[in-house]
Amino acid sequence: MPQQMSVAEEIFQFVREPIDARAIVENLKAPEDGAVVVFDGFVRNNFKGQRTLYLEYEAYEAMAFAKMREIGAYMREHFSIHRVAMVHRLGRLEIGETSVLIAVSSAHRAAAFDACRYAIDALKRGVPIWKKEYFADGAVWVEGEKPSQQAISAPSSSTL
């Protein structure tokens, strides 16, 4: 008898190995859904025009994991979605490798698009993760925004 594959309704994860985007997305598809929207963020080959060799991500993992779960809860509350996967890689990444994958399934596309857009914006502004870019002649910690709870709980994004 074939084994029934267990399917997670929600995945929040930090990983140190390559992210298998295809497997995550396939696993997210439920028969009753009609759409999956995926955001696949990968390592760019330059930083403000300077050639990047590789980069490193680090996180305040305990807090970051809790904040990702809060983003998931907000998505369920505000968008008519079904499954959510949010996976972020840490450690050293090479050019072109996926650093973050967010996938949202839904019966209809609009909710999935809106929820996915909210999720990546909230992650970038509200989850304690940092990246360091390495160049031939040095390295720099990339400074995004001052992190805030508001980015997660009261987003001002144009999608809402």
SS3 160: coil
**Binding another protein by CB under 8 A: which of 8, 15, 53, 142?**
142
Residue 99: DSSP 8-state? E
**Binding another protein by CB under 8 A: which of 77, 96, 145, 156?**
145
Q: Does 100 bind another protein (CB under 8 A)?
A: yes
Q: Does 82 bind another protein (CB under 8 A)?
A: no
Radius of gyration (C-alpha) of the chain in whole angstroms: 16
Residue 82 or 88: the one with the smaller Cβ distance to another protein is: 88
The closest of 13, 25, 48 to 112, measured between CA atoms, is 25
The closest of 35, 29, 55, 34 to 44, measured between CA atoms, is 55
Q: Does 20 bind another protein (CB under 8 A)?
A: no
CA–CA dist 136, 19 (Å, integer):
26
Q: Does 83 bind another protein (CB under 8 A)?
A: no
State the Cα angle at 18 between 106 and 127, rounded to 5°: 60
**Binding another protein by CB under 8 A: which of 110, 141, 154, 160?**
141
Residues near another protein, by CB under 8 A: 41, 57-60, 62-64, 66, 88, 99-100, 120, 123-132, 141-149
